[in-house]
Amino acid sequence: MERRYPDPAVRVLDERFNALRVTAASVECLYQGARWSEGPVWFGDTRSLLWSDIPNNRMLRWDEETGVVSTFRKPSNNANGNTRDREGRLVTCEHLTRRVTRTEYDGSITVIADQYQGKPLNSPNDVIVKSDGSIWFSDPTFGIDGFYEGEQKPPELTPGVYRVDAKSGEITLMISDLAGPNGLAFSPDESVLYVVDSRASPREILAYEMAPDGCSFNDSRVVIDARDGTPDGFRVDIHGNLWCGWGMGSDELDGVRIFTPRGEAIGHIALPERCANVCFGGRHRNRLFMAASHGLYALYVNTQGVKGG
């Protein structure tokens, strides 16, 4: 990686991105040695980051104070996406067991969802938690399409996006017309749910406008046409900008691409490998952590991730 300021890996595509940059910050490689890094989640109370290494069937932990990377959980049931609920507990999507789980404070595991209408889920992929405590997750077939990230199985459900009610635990199918629902994120005011469709051609990020009840939609639209890019997991900052894992094996695409809420590309963080997912962390939620193929990267930015993101 380049070691000069401003870091040439942080590329301005539109002058509006300048306000989001820290010119005296550069991309840092924190770890190399994964097979497919995914699902980063920040734990401020322990000053650590957890993320998934799906094919290696493990979750890793990076310690901010020491920089040491250790194994957090192995086997992980081919864990993919992770987040924290509004009580600070780890919520994880597992490919092998085809379920969404919560890790309790004592380390025990609670199953949040593993079936819908009596049929097993496909392979929960990404997960977010709304301020009302409801859990939203995508369920494509990626983890059952082969043996690399789970066990090959025939799907019994259409790929979908689900909502789990915080009080009743009821599971509702919210979106069922996407071939490959993937990354999820809410706008800062939670009026919009963004969803990546990984099997659209080209890939798209759609915006679903929430109804006043907070658990249904009024409308949807395509907000980002990825063209040659491959959006995967992403997070939203307090200004509503989308920081998207991006790439497809080229210097121009690999890394993180930043979009306005209207879908305008304004910046790009170039990485030497494709980025699958990101999260904001650090004391002020102003450090972007990037889970990218074999590695984990970080960059300080001049914005903050939304709470709960």
* Residue 24 domain-assigned (yes or no): yes
Catalytic residue among 197, 232, 237, 254: 232
- Residue 92 belongs to some domain of the structure: yes
Contact 178, 201 (CB under 8 A): no
3 domain-assigned: no
Residue 308 has pLDDT above 90, yes or no: no
DSSP states of 258-302 as a string? Answer: EE-TT--EEEEEE-SS---EEEEESTTS-EEEEEETTEEEEEE-S
Domain count, the chain: 1
* Among 95, 11, 25, 113, CA closest to 53: 95
Partners of 61 in the β-ladder:
50, 70
Domain boundaries, position 94: 10-300
Average pLDDT over residues 168-186: 97
List, for residues 13-41, the tens digit of each pLDDT value.
999 999 999 999 999 999 999 999 999 99
Q: Is 53 annotated as a binding residue?
A: no
Q: Is residue 5 part of a domain?
A: no
Contact 259, 269 (CB under 8 A): no
Whole-angstrom Cα distance, residue 51 to residue 42? 9
Whether residue 110 is predicted with pLDDT greater than 90 in this model: the reply is yes
pLDDT one-digit tens code per residue, 270-288: 999 999 999 999 999 999 9
At 252 the pLDDT is 87
Q: Please report, for the domain that includes residue 292, its CATH number.
A: 2.120.10.30
Q: Is residue 221 predicted with pLDDT exceeding 70?
A: yes
β partners of residue 207:
194, 221
pLDDT digits (tens, 9 = 90+) for 68-79: 999 999 999 999
Whether residue 165 lies inside any domain: the answer is: yes
228 is catalytic: no
Dihedral of the alpha carbons of 93, 63, 302, 295, in degrees to the nearest 10: -60
Residue 149 marked ligand-binding: no
1 within some domain? no
pLDDT (mean) for 106-131: 98
Contact call for residues 209 and 190 (beta carbons, < 8 A): no
| Interatomic CA distance for residues 243 and 168, integer angstroms | 32
**Is this prediction's pTM over 0.95?**
yes
Tell me the sheet residues that pair with 12. 267
Is 252 annotated for ligand binding? no
Judge whether 309 lies within some domain.
no
Q: How far is CA 301 from CA 21, 25, 168, 186, 304, in A?
A: 5, 8, 39, 20, 8
| Residue 309 confidence (pLDDT) | 64
Query: Which tokens is 45 given?
Result: 């109370």
Q: What angle do CA 222, 16, 205 make, to 5 degrees?
A: 15
Q: In this model, does residue 66 exceed pLDDT 70?
A: yes
Average pLDDT over residues 227-240: 95
Residue 142 DSSP SS3? helix
Q: CB neighbours of 141 closer than 8 A, spacing ≥ 6?
A: 122, 123, 155, 159, 180
Residue identified by tokens 């990404």 is 126
**190 annotated ligand binder:** no
Q: Is 125 annotated as a binding residue?
A: yes
- Residue 307 falls inside a structural domain: no
In this predicted structure, the answer to whether residue 47 has a pLDDT above a threshold of 70 is yes
